[in-house]
Structure 1
């Protein structure tokens, strides 16, 4: 897999932005090490272009006839390497040259088959979803079961207009796609990847615990009633060091700035307890209200006794540190230390030759929560600059979502970074 050509631009008129993107793509396709004849395109647009989604897709398809497959969606913002366009008209495109038998575009009219029911075997999948779809979290979990890894990544469309998704497979040659036009509303769509596509994926949390991890011992529907046997509201107020009997305005403001990190009953919260940071087993949810009569706390998710909870807050410094951490993990996994045998005193140089060759990042997809965009990081584009500083100048596209997908969960307030890799030394 060669380096992925990417293009991104902003302009009040989508045709002008698309023309700028096409110029970037064509220039990179002519460079050594980049894909010369890609067949798959990832397209992300901001909601300013949502009403022109079909026309925009038709235009790009006509200008890039070699690209027969498309996938993507809409966000409040889109991003590229070292750039982000938040709440402004923009689009970002990445082209990939993956062999046609190693990926498949899917949608509601051409769903991804279950494992063992078709010739194509999905190892993982990039998933775009409409958050207004009933039981979208259950559908994402079911989609993960259709992959051999049990892991999918992506995000929920974010739009103040139509929550459009793009899905074109084989220029109509795959059953179901031909008459659909390529633009969908509702449900799930995306790209499934075969075992021949090499990738790494990490999730970065944007929140940090402000209290201990405690077991939910009583709950009803979406209301947490007790934590470790103590009324949940009392625990929350003590954690925030506020009282409803004092200045209620101060208490309300602190509660509004607080969220809840949830872990399933079967999880072990040891990582959070040791490091003070949430891991990928934690889903952050809003506090919707306080139940004074029952001393409970209402959350934006159904709650079951036995789950774990830690109150938390969004902090830019913690989010930056955690993003840097996951990028460092990716770099470390891709670049084995070939000098280690010599540092350990080995006298057999051939041992170094046995170390797997260094892998290169050929493309990356970054999906971030809409709440992390804008000024949350201290300035426009700061989040993407942090990614570039850690990973280098790698091809990257993505969008700011209404919810982030990783593993078999839908998250909030997080970022999901996925990189495609190759050991081709010519890249």
Structure 2
């Protein structure tokens, strides 16, 4: 009987010295399939200064030319360690390096960067890179795995424009780093957005899971100034917030940081997804709220809380949905989760990844904990975005 070699493999290391970390990842990967032609790499910001050396070393040792990835304060993997043992790992605030390699059909993908240029209608992202223009004339991408710089407030609009221009469903996350905001798209750089595009010859499905749950009823912004919400339902925004969070929390508003957020429902979304944004400040004088999103009068709004039980249930809902949609068993995964999830929401011992592993077994998977998550054409927060290749 002929045994088909795996199309995907993943390796993991927590070693601080970069070359030793690379060697441990290579041991975790084991024998490299000859057809392997694309790698994903995520490393902790402890390794950021050596990103270029790590990329060069892995490229030489694997023979894989094309790579994409970024830096994260935390990284995640279901991968082999230096002894070849498969385990799920969520690592924060310490050295970690994970890599996933794949054997994709020839011409099924294209690594790219998207730089910012000034247009008459404002700043836009324009796709660049070796062979990108030719590949796009010959292929119709349906999926883009992307990594983006979190420092640009115009990024949500630019991501929407990029997805529309490419007619592509985007998944990914914003770099999270206490040092340089580095990405790799065949080379290491600080890019606005970079990643890899896939055509239908590299089949995958994707989905999003929320980490917050709505409280109170859906309301409407009635007066706002940029990111400052003055009134909701023609009442001071703070009065509405207090009503929805209850008397106990209202007595000490300092306790709501990292627990209470604002949510914006996405019109026409069949899965009832919503965008979660942070409350930056509260003005007890005029009752206004400053948040991390510009709003408009007439915009639907509600308050929500970060909720461990609901997050776990919604992750299981996502996994059930993906399982039902898969035409065959998944071969590998990419997972982009929020820094506010992981241990903070699911508890220690890599519980978030263990939920995924319980559903799909020892499927190779890598990802990182992001400053924001990208799904379709929007920037989310406190979510997890799971993409499965099959």
Work out which of the residue numbers 4, 11, 22 in structure 2 matches 1:7.
11
Deviation at 1:70, TM superposition (A): 0.6
Aligned CA-pair RMSD:
2.3
Q: Aligned residue for 1:60? A: 58
Distance 1:146 1:47 in 2: 32
- Partners of 2:17 and 2:98 lie apart in 1 by 14
Q: Judge conservation of contact 2:342–2:351 (CA < 8 Å) in 1.
A: no
Partner of residue 170 from structure 2, selected from 152, 156, 163: 152
Alignment-derived partner of residue 174 in structure 1: none
Q: Deviations over 1:94-147 (max 9, x none)?
A: 111112311000014762768996223221200101111352212211221133
Return the match for 1:332 from 324, 331, 337: 324
Deviant stretches of 4+, over 3 Å: 112-117, 268-271
1:260-288 CA-to-partner distances (Å, cap 9, x unmatched) read 11135xx15896xxxxxxx43x1111001
* Residues 1:258 and 2:277 are matched in the alignment: no
1:323 aligns with 2:315: yes
1:313 is displaced (CA, Å) by 1.1
Counterpart Cα distance in 1 of 2:229 and 2:355: 36
Kindly indicate whether the alpha-carbon contact (under 8 Å) linking 1:115 and 1:147 is maintained by their aligned counterparts in 2. no
The aligned counterpart of 1:19 is 23
**TM-aligned CA deviation for residue 392 of structure 1:** 2.1
Tell me the CA shift for residue 293 of structure 1: 3.9
Q: Distance in 2 between matches of 1:118 and 1:158?
A: 33
Query: Could you tell me whether the CA contact under 8 Å between 2:7 and 2:36 is conserved in 1?
Result: no
Cα distance, 1:116–1:74 mapped onto 2, change above 3 Å: closer
Comparing 106-115 with 73-82, greater Cα deviation is found at: 106-115
- Name the residue aligned to 2:38: 40
Contact 2:335-2:384 at 8 Å conserved across structures = yes
Given that 1:124 and 1:147 are in contact with CA atoms closer than 8 Å, whether structure 2 keeps it comes out as no
The answer as to 2:214 corresponding to 1:216 is no
Aligned-partner Cα distance in 2 for 1:396–1:389? 13
Residue 314 of structure 1 deviates from its aligned partner by: 0.8
| Structure possessing the higher radius of gyration over alpha carbons | 1
Q: Deviation per CA, 1:22-46, whole angstroms, max 9, x where unpaired?
A: 012124x4xxxxx542011111101
Q: Give the 3-state SS of the residue equivalent to 2:200 in structure 1.
A: coil
Q: Which one has a larger percent strand, Structure 1 or Structure 2?
A: 2
Query: TM-score, normalised on structure 2?
Result: 0.87
| Structure 1 unmatched runs, 5+ | 30-34, 169-181, 272-278, 335-357, 422-427
Sort the Cα spacing of 1:17 and 1:230 in 2 relative to 1 into closer, same or farther, 3 A.
Answer: same
**1:89: which partner in 2?**
95
Unaligned residue ranges in structure 2 (runs of 5+): 79-87, 116-126
Contact 2:261/2:277, CA 8 A, preserved across alignment: yes
Query: Taking structure 1 as reference, are residues 364 and 240 closer, same or farther at Cα in structure 2, changes over 3 Å only?
Result: same
CA distance in structure 2 between the aligned counterparts of 1:379 and 1:306, rounded to whole angstroms: 41
Q: Which residue of 1 aligns with 2:185?
A: 167
The aligned residue for residue 375 of structure 2 is: 406
Write the mapping of 1:276-425 to structure 2, written as runs, cut at 5 A: 279-280=272-273, 282-334=274-326, 358-421=327-390
In structure 2, what is the Cα distance between the partners aligned to 1:413 and 1:378?
15
Q: Aligned equivalents of 1:269 and 1:3: distance in 2? A: 34
- Distance, in Å, in 2 between the alignment partners of 1:3 and 1:381 is 25
The answer to whether the 8 A contact 1:72-1:128 is kept is yes
Question: Which residue of structure 1 aligns with residue 108 of structure 2?
Answer: 102
Asked if structure 2 preserves the Cα contact closer than 8 Å seen for 1:261 and 1:312, the reply is yes
Distance 1:269 1:154, change over 3 A: closer
The TM-score normalised by the length of structure 1 is 0.80
Say whether residues 1:69 and 2:66 are aligned partners: yes
CA distance, structure 2, for counterparts of residue 310 and residue 371 of structure 1: 20
CA offset at residue 291 of structure 1? 2.8
In the TM superposition, what is the alpha-carbon distance from 1:203 to its structure 2 partner? 0.5
Displacement, 1:256? Answer: 5.5
Per-residue displacement from partner, 1:193-252 (whole Å, max 9, x unpaired)?
A: 0122211111100001121111222221112222233322111011122389x85xx233
The total of aligned residue pairs comes to 364
Describe the SS at the equivalent of 1:400.
strand
